[in-house]
Amino acid sequence: MSSRFYWKSAQLAVDALVCVMAFLAAYLIRFEGILSAPTLKQMALLMPYLVFARLLCNQILGVYRIAWRYVGLRDLRTFVIATSPATAFFLILRFGVAPNTVLFGLWLDVFRIPLSVVALEGMLFFLGTVGARVLRRITLDVQRAKVSSGPKKVQQKPILLIGAGRAGVIVAREIRSRPDMGLKIVGFIDDDPMKLGQIIDGLQVLGPTADLPRLARLHHLDHVVISIASIPGVDMRRILAVCESIPIRPQVVPGIYELVEGSVSINRIRDVEFEDLLGRSPVNLDTEGVAAFLGGSRIVVTGAGGSIGSEMCRQVCRFGPASLILVERYENNLFEIERELRSSYPNLQIIPCVADITDAPRMASIFETQAPQVVIHAAAHKHVPMMESNPSEAVKNNVRGTRMLAELADRHKAAVFVMISTDKAVRPKSVMGASKRMAELYVQSLAQNSGTRFMTVRFGNVLGSAGSVIPIFKKQIAAGGPITVTHPEMKRYFMTIPEAAQLVLQAASMGSGGEIYVLDMGEPVKIVSLAEELIRLSGLKPYDDIEITFTGVRPGEKLFEEISLDDENLTKTQHAKIYVGKNRPLAAEGVAEKVRLCEQLIDEPDATTVRATLIDLVLEDRAEGEQRTAQVGEDQEGASGSSDRGLTTALRKPELLH
């Protein structure tokens, strides 16, 4: 028989023994240790019924699904619920059975247990079952500590935990159960005045963060661990400033939200990274809505090997699609994401397709054979300076590729088409932005007469994507500098890759067609401030250890990117981080003609002509949009209201990181 069977039998045996002992102890306490013959007879008759009732309730109400190794305070509710039915049953019998009652030849007086015995037995059984599991947990923790420490004792470094909340307690417990990590917690740091001096999970709250310099000297610390599940960026920067003044090394726990939920163990404490300074709260998805949108569907992701596309694939897999078709023209990138997904989701049908979205026969073949129901279009040329040098390629990929893909989705009656766009498409100054804006216009116009729900999701820069500013800055720091920044006033919106991918899926699940969704990017970040923070996080000083030089604004770049147009009339959705704009689209025939003229530029050898013509075509559409908005201004005013105009302005408000 399996070890699971033996373990389950052992659990039942322990609880049965606890029940017998609790029943006996209750009678001994009630009768002060003197049990008469009738009382012993009553106990003997009732014992089998009681043990059966207790074990049955434990089984039905989930007690045996709780792992003894991880039993905690949240599990006490289950034990209380499991204990209550049997206790309530015997209480009913105590008051409901009249003296000398006989039923089917059974003398029911045996069930008339003294009230104090019923109460004592229930309490003792609850304490006994919980106590047995706690004892088992303590035993396992001790054994684990002995195994982890090994034959050679690991020297324990003293550390402080910053944050004495729920996350801090979980981090403390995990660290203490892992002596092999070589960390010894001397206490908590917390700015909550109500916690100061308190003992939390055996550790004292020694003071606020202002006391960190004194405590670091007192306990000879060389680093601290920040254990706050949801810390605002301003507080993170304040803590880092204190650590830098000592100096002391700050670290964080990766996946702190998952750690709080109990799905991740603490085995990789790491240094603070720039993402932590943004202080962006975790995304709360409407998982039921997204699951209904993606679950059981055939889904194609273009650009599946890119930074955004690959994360889109990871997020999609969580919701159990019928199949996931990966479209990517770079073989190595496709190989890597396919291998990762197959390892993580071995039962999911994953179909890798080496393909270019501008290759009409190849893409038509994919749609004919796979019949995707959801198209997530993440493939695009994205680097602004590179597209300034190669404008015809931007038109070919971003405009023609999007048009062809959207038409295939319409022709094959896909349910949803989601185009991922960029803030650079708003009042574009660059070839890349203009090409994405033209793609937006075409997708929006196609939605007017299609059964496919076409929608666009627009956001700014994502942290850590291939070729983005942070990896470049890190390489420059590793090389000893200098860090090159184009302009001291350059600002950009930033969000993390997983956050962007999750919000794209959430927005796509809400759309009815024709919308442009805009993700809440938080506050824009000054690029020079980003460079300074990265230098500090590397343990160096800006301008002293690593120089920052300004190279001038590159062709096509703007000092500040906007996230929406005035006439899009952004309004709130049911999700706090997603806004929607649904202005009246331009005539489909007019947009199709503009796209046709754009595509004629693909074979134009003169880059200057391509650039000027493309931007002019987009600006003409912009002028038409403004004229249309002016004509229906009163209607728009009544529909959107002043609060929406204020929201649009707020999303474009240029604030600094510091």
Q: Which two tokens stand for residue 252?
A: 């964080």
Catalytic residue among 382, 396, 424, 582: 424
- Residue 572: count of CB within 10 angstroms of its CB: 13
DSSP E strand boundaries for 20-72: none
Distances 410 to 416, 484, 509 between C-alpha atoms, Å: 9, 45, 18
Phi, psi (degrees; rounded to nearest 5) at 634: -65, -40
Distance, first Cα to last Cα, the chain = 64
Strand partners, 457: 420, 517
Q: How far apart are the C-alpha atoms of 404 and 65, rounded to whole Å?
A: 53
Angstrom CA distances, 350 to 38, 95, 346, 379, 418, stand at: 72, 64, 9, 18, 20
Q: Which residues contact 294 (CB under 8 A, 6 or more apart)?
A: 316, 319, 320, 321, 374, 505, 509
Contact call for residues 422 and 433 (beta carbons, < 8 A): yes
Distance CA 422, CA 378 (A): 11
Contact 413, 483 (CB under 8 A): no
Q: Give the angle subtended at the CA of 121 by the CAs of 117 and 127, to the nearest 5°.
A: 150
Give exposure, 537-566, as e/b (b: 16+ Cβ within 10 Å): beeeebeeebebeeeeeeebbbeebbbbbb
**Is 424 noted as a catalytic residue in this protein?**
yes
Q: Which residues are catalytic?
A: 424
